Chain A
Amino acid sequence: MTAVTIVFALMFYVVTALLLGGLAWKIAGYARTPAPLRIPTTPAPPHARGVVLRMAREVVLFESLFKSSKWIWGLGWLFHVALALVLLRHLRYFTEPVWAAVALVQPFGLYASFAMVAALAGLWARRIFVERIRYISTPSDHLMLVLLIAIGATGLAMKYVAHTDIVAAKAFMLGLLYFDWQPLPADPVLLVHLALVAALMATFPASKLLHAPGIFFSPTRNQADDSRERRHLSSWAAELER
């Protein structure tokens, strides 16, 4: 067992714990906090079924963003869809045998990786060249884009420039899952790629990536327009009625 293997194995256990624990803690916090008043942005659906549809359109199609700006929507949506395909493609490193759907998605995931990096570059260009967006950008906004681009670039490099031993890489990943550690190839590009992914996982619950769970808890989007029919007394507001 090489030192690299031990370091990376431990690192992945730690960041996975941070990611899952952090997200669970944040989500529990959102869920526990009352929403004392109905504030859906109207027109809003009057029933739960409509709310599910509204949320689905928001999550899958980025409906509100589409209304706002076709540029941000185009780049943002492209990035997210490409990322989803790339992640699906990567599932082959975590399952044995590889699921049929994952096998099917392989070529698309490959195209998607180019689209992903291109969309990220476009988003970054906006942040640099559009005055308004530059004004509202913090260093962490730039860093997050750099991190994602670097992950994509190192991934592409392993496919097209400096091949790595993916069979061994897969064995390492499966070994982590089954607590049966296997050696990790000490290939620098792979190590950088994995370290960056670990950094992304660790920062997820403490960064703006919280928009992912956050949207599901957004009262302007997840509430039905039913305040005339139903009272929505929160626990602390009920105290006032005593």
Chain B
Amino acid sequence: MAVAEFETPRLKEYPVIPILQAGAMAHSRPFVAAAPIQKALGFPGELVENWQEKAIARMGELLAKYRSLKVYLDACVHCGACADKCHYFLGTGDPKNMPVARQDLMRKIYRRYFTVTGRYFPKVVGAEGLTREVLDEWYTYFNQCSECRRCSVFCPYGIDTAEITMAAKEIMDAIGMGQKYSNEIIGKVHKIGNNLGLPGPALEDTLAGLEEDIKDDTGADVKLPLDVRGAEVLLVTPSADFFSEPHVESLIGYAKVFHQAGISWTLSSHASEAGNFGLFIGNYEQMRKISMRVREAALELGVKRIAVGECGHAWRVAYSFWNTLIGPFDFLDRNYPAPQHICEVTYELIRRGALTLDKEANDQRIVTFHDSCNVARGSRMGSMPRGQFIIPREIIKACVNHFHDMAPETIHENTFCCGGGGGLLTDDLIELRVKGALPRMEAFKQVVDEHGVNFMATICAICKAQFSKVLPYYKFDMDMVGGVHQLVGSAIRLGPK
């Protein structure tokens, strides 16, 4: 596919709020899902005939099912607090990428069909009928939101644009206008067990190959077990960890941690995916169905603990939703009654002195940490408040000698999305992804210039894939991104402790 040419934004010294460029991203649309992809998820194959009626009806259902949607469509006062907070707006200047303007794409329809003022005074309150033009605009701009929730941090009412984007995707799926990338991936999970469509035997081969690699590197017999009944820990990790770079380095890191700590663990071919794109399309049933594979695998294998690998949205789903979706986890070890993040596992082992870490092994690296949006704003780690910021950094500091945080307004809950989250990590959206990465790249450049940083650690498969692709556009080396457990993996000294 030929991708239209576009200009990579220039990295500025200081972040500047862009001048509005109406329609700057009006051409950016991902491929629409074809009929077989749609039908596999129980959605209509193509735009249904009475789509308008169906869409309004679906909106009515969602308004009755989700308090967030109902309150957020009413509460906005157009104050503009969110306007300059979205990375896609900052990177593109398209005013419809301001969170409030994105919400208004749905709000104007809501007002027209669900409020008295909108019905009788549409012009005054900015209400509009659901025309084909509006639907196309929905498809364009709701596919330019990565559901990162940065806007919700700054909204005085906590309005979360992600909730509205998810509802829009639900409505579009229901009338046959799904997005190919996300829906195709969900289909693969149901059919094969993971997003990459990697079948069990291939997975087994890959893991055996990795075991050999580790043996060659370290001389140690580190195992990457698959479907081992009675193992203590089930590790559910994004399938990218099995053979994407730099993801696989983190997988090796987890294996080394379990090996040195002497914890028996296993991967599962049935639940060979931590990612859950059901979240991205806002579909509770899909999200539950995908999550259910983890519960089934855990029960089948008889494990005592569940751990989740480095994946941002997966951790949001695991931390915030699993207990509700597929709980209760009453079959787990009383000491580890809830699924844990791999960073929680490693952090506890470090604190117990169970790992031998040699910081000098990472001395060629000057490291910063990119908080992934779903971890930062949609979850927690550990029992202390703000643990999701503290724990990964403490692990990094235990593994490297040189660490520098990026500017405070771009980390922790203020973190900028990598530009590829929310089901937008597809080549048909490459322009959006490059431009949306701008705010993060500016903050990154600052620590590169000031401290010579040459490695951005992160705990999200999407962030890793996105940055690998996008860093070169900004004249950075693609190897500059990697996982936290990649650092753990290189610092750990194997052999009996």
A5 at the interface (CB under 8 A from B): no
Stretch from A82-90, A168-176, A186-194, A215-223 contacting the other chain? A215-223
Interface centre among B149, B284, B324 (most CB of A within 10 A): B324
Q: Which residues of A contact B376 (CB under 8 A)?
A: 42
A141 at the interface (CB under 8 A from B): yes
Interfacial residues, chain B to chain A (CB-CB below 8 A):
17, 19-20, 63-68, 70-72, 74-85, 95, 98, 100-101, 104, 115-117, 123-126, 149, 152-160, 163, 284-285, 288, 319-321, 323-324, 327-328, 338, 376-380, 385-386, 388-389, 413
> Whole-angstrom distance from the CB of A6 to the nearest CB of chain B?
27
The closest CB in chain B to the CB of A45 belongs to: B385
Q: Are B379 and A42 in contact (CB under 8 A)?
A: yes
Separation of A131 and B389 alpha carbons in the complex (Å): 35
Q: Which residues of A contact B153 (CB under 8 A)?
A: 41, 64, 67
Q: Which residues of A contact B101 (CB under 8 A)?
A: 135-136
Interface code A128-140, partner B: CB below 8 Å = 1, 0 otherwise?
0011110111111
> Whole-angstrom distance from the CB of B137 to the nearest CB of chain A?
15
Q: Are A68 and B319 in contact (CB under 8 A)?
A: no
Q: Which residues of B contact A219 (CB under 8 A)?
A: 67-68, 71, 158, 160
Q: Which residues of A contact B76 (CB under 8 A)?
A: 208, 211
Q: Are B324 and A135 in contact (CB under 8 A)?
A: no
Q: Are B68 and A136 in contact (CB under 8 A)?
A: no
Separation of A147 and B62 alpha carbons in the complex (Å): 34
A69 at the interface (CB under 8 A from B): yes
Q: Are A214 and B71 in contact (CB under 8 A)?
A: yes
Q: Are A133 and B83 in contact (CB under 8 A)?
A: yes
Can you list 13 A-B pairs, Cβ within 8 angstroms, ordered by A?
Answer: A26-B74, A39-B320, A42-B380, A42-B388, A43-B388, A65-B79, A132-B98, A135-B101, A207-B117, A214-B74, A221-B157, A229-B338, A233-B324
Q: Which residues of A contact B19 (CB under 8 A)?
A: 131
Q: Which residues of B contact A30 (CB under 8 A)?
A: 67, 70-71
Q: Are A138 and B379 in contact (CB under 8 A)?
A: no
Q: Which residues of A contact B70 (CB under 8 A)?
A: 29-30, 33
The answer, among B74, B77, B83, B380, for a CB contact under 8 Å with A225, is: B380
Inter-chain pairs besides A35-B67, A135-B98, 12 sampled, C-beta below 8 Å? A43-B413, A68-B156, A135-B20, A136-B80, A136-B83, A139-B126, A140-B117, A208-B74, A227-B320, A229-B323, A233-B324, A234-B65
The answer, among B81, B124, B163, B327, for a CB contact under 8 Å with A69, is: B81
Interfacial residues, chain A to chain B (CB-CB below 8 A):
26, 29-30, 33-39, 41-43, 45-46, 58, 62, 64-65, 67-69, 72, 76, 126, 130-133, 135-141, 143, 203, 206-208, 210-211, 214-215, 217-221, 225, 227-234, 236-237, 240
> Whole-angstrom distance from the CB of B448 to the nearest CB of chain A?
27
The closest CB in chain A to the CB of B154 belongs to: A68
Separation of A203 and B120 alpha carbons in the complex (Å): 13
Q: Are A67 and B154 in contact (CB under 8 A)?
A: yes
Separation of A133 and B79 alpha carbons in the complex (Å): 7
Separation of A54 and B490 alpha carbons in the complex (Å): 41
The answer, among B78, B338, B388, for a CB contact under 8 Å with A138, is: B78
> Whole-angstrom distance from the CB of A204 to the nearest CB of chain B?
11
> Whole-angstrom distance from the CB of B370 to the nearest CB of chain A?
17
When A58-B156, A138-B126, A230-B323 are in contact, do A33 and B66 touch as well, CB less than 8 Å?
A: yes
